[in-house]
Every structure is written in structure tokens, then in C-alpha cells.
Amino acid sequence: MPGNELIINVTHHEKRVALLENGQLVEMHIELAREGGLVGNIYKGRVTRVLPGMQAAFVDVGLDRAAFLYVADVRDPVFEVDLLDGGEDARAVFGEPAPAPEEDQFDREPGPAPTAAPLEERPAPEQIAAPIEDLLKDGQELMVQVAKEPIGTKGARITSHISIPSRNLVLIPFVDHIGVSRRIEDEGERVRLRNLVDSLRSAGMGFIVRTAAEGKDRETLAHDIEYVTDLWQNIYGKYKNARAPALLHSDLSITLRAVRDLFNADIDRVVIDSPEEYGKIVSFFGRHMPMMDCAVELYDGDEPIFDFFGLEVEIARALQPKVWLKSGGYIIIEQAEALIAIDVNTGRFVGKHNLEDTILKTNLEAVKEICYQLRLRNLGGLIIIDFIDMEKEANREKVFAALQEALTRDRAKTNILKISELGLVEMTRKRTRESISRVLSEPCPYCEGKGYVKSKTSICAEIFREIKKESKTAPGKTLILCVHPDIADLLYEEERAGLELLEQLTGKRITIKDNSIFHLEQFEILFA
């Protein structure tokens, strides 16, 4: 039976990491060489503009676009917002900065400590924090960390709450606190880890103990603390001497982040096709994860590694809007900048008993595929799912429960609302980087991203209207119409009668010239 694997493909222009669970591709991460990953990078930035009306500021960190800093990300650590909104160890995969401790993520150490309500229950920023104009001024310099990649037309989202992860711990240098991942359920182990880290840390240094630390000994944790503490001292030293904007720290490459953040006891092996990166991974295991029992294999087959594992087909499938279900039904996934619309259809599936049963089966099958596609494509933001209408409330509850269950396997935090009377589900999914389709594709230069062009018939009608308008004041008796060859064919054939009538109405002779370099919708009217 296929196991869980990390498959890594490295070329000079991109690095790709695929996570397979039981042989099925469930996550895909791509980093282009010319761009590199930004999440987790630490900068010395300069405030370029404070926006009181938005309670935010733009900060120049040296990127193409100014980064966006919201007031919640510069306020007192007591009220620090969780940047990551959940996921394992409250970290999204691939170098997202670790969050400040929160009640719904980590247990707090005994004794008085400020509590934080879940994000959706917290008061508005003005109720708990000073206005942005009192916190930041134009030209001010500060240390910030990228929390979200630039997405679409938006610049990077940044925070001033710095976090530095290692394999077992996350250093939060500005928060004097020790948190333990709630995924570590044994209370005795939780106490042991908290006390152990407390005895090893420097005064005032905060740490979050990650799930991977469960069962680790004092020496291992001491090594991690020393590593992140030295790294922080180096970053802080650069900050004091650098001139803004400046990059102070780059997170690990995507291959090492894959090992650090995706690798766990359930992963059977890592397979990579680059000798250089293979050596780095083996060295990383030796330094940071010496006790891990995992096979790291260098792939040297003649067939490209992703073809060998059958992944290219799945990636191509993830770029298509229509996804077929095994039953014969299908889902349609349409992506806007901040909203994803998913439509469920029965398609070729006709069922065996009655309509309600057919609809229920299609919706339940769609639930699994939708959750799979959200994770694989890394879709986020506001998501609207249009399930097929179900008459019975019990069936709607079944579909909703199945959706909740399927989403528990997703590392990204999700929030979902009950199915409405119209069969719609509103949900959100945390995103920190571009979706696969945005990384691997770009808007069609022909249709300019609309996904469609005008029909040939409507273009002809538009041409006729324009000729009528222009010919009223145009001199001469001859009109030259330059059009795309396909439009010229239509004018000579199906629209010929309309063209002859137009000649009679305008009193002008119309000559058609085709131009193969014209856009289908482009035309030009000349008078002679």
C-alpha cells in the first residue's frame, strides 16, 4: 500500500514539492527561482504612508510593491493577532511566521497572564489598541516580517511581531511566554516540555513548543534554543546597523522548509532529484532531526521524477475549472481575486432510486473532492459552495457534517457557516501565498483574463452599427473595412445580405480586407 512521501523536483528555474498521502497528491508547493519565497523573511522597513481611514500603513521593505501593515500587527503583544489562524502548531506550511500564543491554540503557563479571545470574538481594533497614527509616523523605521505573500494586486502583508521557527520550537523574542501546542495531549508531557524550555531559555525570551517536540530530550531542545537564539542575535545585530529598506533574514529554501514544516512521523521517505539539494537535506536531518527514522533517496531515473510518480497529470488537472466526480457528477471552480465560487452538478449521474437520494450522493461525493481541491490548489479567501438543493433538512445536515469532517485534515484554518435554504455554504480559508493557478498561469492575453470573447455575430452587428454612425459624416463613396479573417468570412457568407443592405442605406461601396494580426474583436473603418 502506498505510503506518505515528499517528492521534490529541483531545476534551475523552479523548485516543486509534492506531499503524497497514501500515494495521492494532497499538497503542491512551487517556488520560482526568480521570485523565491517571501513568507518568513525579516526586513528593516520604512513607513511610507500612514492611512488612518484604513487603520493601516504602507511600508517600504525593498520589494516591488509596498508592504501592508495593519494596526493589529503593530499593537501590544498582549493583543497580538494570530497571523496564521490555525493549522498544525498554529503554523501554516512553508515558513509562515509562528503566531503569538492564544487560548484557542496553546495552553498558557500557570499564573496571571493576559488572555485573548478567538479572532472572530475580539473587539474592533479601536477598542483595544491605539490608532495607527499614534503608533506609526511617515519615515519611521521598524523591523517587520512577511506574513503573507503578495497576492494578485496586493502587496505583502507584514507584521512587527517577529517569530523564528526551528524544528521543535518557535522563538517569539518580543513575548515573554511559553506555549505548548495543543496537539500534544498528554498533560504530563506538556508540563515536562514547558518546564524544560523554561529552564533553558534566556530571561524574557518567549517560545512555542511545537508538536514535533513531543518526547524530545533536554539536549535536543537545548540545541534548538541555541540555534534560534543565535539566529535572532544575528538578525538584531543587522537591524541596528542596516539602512532601511534592508533584508535582515531569509527563511530556508523551499526544500528545507518542506523537511522542517511538512515532515512528521507519518512520512515514510523523501525523494529528490537534485544531488545538491539531497546533500542539504541529509545535512539538515543530521543537525536538526538526528532521531528521525526516514529514508532520504536521490532519484536518478531517466524519466522526470514528477512523471514517474504520476504527478504532472494531477497538476494539470488542478488548473482546470471543471473536475469530474467518479459518479459522473462534476464541480466547477471559478477563482476571483478574493472569492472562490464552486458549483456542484449531477452531470451524467442519474442515480438508482429517487431524486433526493441522487442529489445527496452527489453532494457527499463533491464534499470530498472540494476539500481535496482546496488544499491541492491552495485556494483561500471567501469561498461560496453551491451544493445541489436538498429538500430534507437531515440531508443538509449530513452534507454539512461531512464538510466539517473533511476540513479537519486541512492545515489551513477554515470557518464555515451552515448550509442556507438555497443550498449555499459560505466559508473562509486562510491563505498566505498564491494559488497554484496563479503561480503557473497568467491572464489570457487574447481575452484579457475575461475567459471569453464576443461572438462573431455580435461583432458583425457592432460593425454594422459603427458603419451607420460613421458614414453619416464621412466623405467619399468607398468604405474600407479591416477585420479579422474569421469575421471577413462571416461577412462574405452569412452576413452578406446585411452588408448589401448597409451599402444601400449608406450609399457607399464597402470593401472588406482581412488582417490576420487583428484581435477577433478588432476592426477598423476607413473612407476613401
Name which of 274, 318, 313 is nearest 33 in CA terms.
Answer: 274
Length of the chain: 528
Rounded CA separation 311/497 (Å): 54
pLDDT in tens, 174-223: 888 899 988 788 899 999 999 999 999 988 889 999 888 888 889 889 98
Task: Give all domains of the chain, ordered by start, each with its CATH number.
Answer: 4-31+256-312 (3.30.420.340), 39-250 (2.40.50.140), 321-440 (no CATH), 456-527 (3.40.1260.20)
> Do 207 and 171 contact (CB within 8 A), yes or no?
yes
CA atoms lying within 13 Å on the CB side of residue 467:
31
pLDDT at 484: 96
Distance CA 460, CA 181 (A): 65
Positions in the chain short of pLDDT 50: 75-128
DSSP state of 198: H
Q: Cα(476)–Cα(504) distance, rounded to whole angstroms?
A: 15
At 240 the pLDDT is 92
The confidence score (pLDDT) of residue 488 equals 95
Asked if 528 and 478 count as a contact pair (C-beta separation under 8 A), the reply is yes
- 158, amino acid identity: I
Instruction: Count other C-beta atoms under 10 Å from residue 343's C-beta.
Output: 17
Whole-model pTM above 0.85? no
In which element (H, E) is residue 471 found?
Answer: helix 456-471
Q: Is the dihedral of CA 513, 514, 518, 519 positive or negative?
A: positive
Distance CA 505, CA 325 (A): 55
Closest C-alpha among 93, 128, 88, 122 to residue 105: 88
pLDDT of residue 204: 83
Check residue 152 and give its pLDDT: 67
HEC states along 401-416? HHHHHHHCCCCCCEEE
Tell me the C-alpha distance between 402 and 393, whole Å. 14
Alpha helices (H) along 348-435: 355-377, 393-407
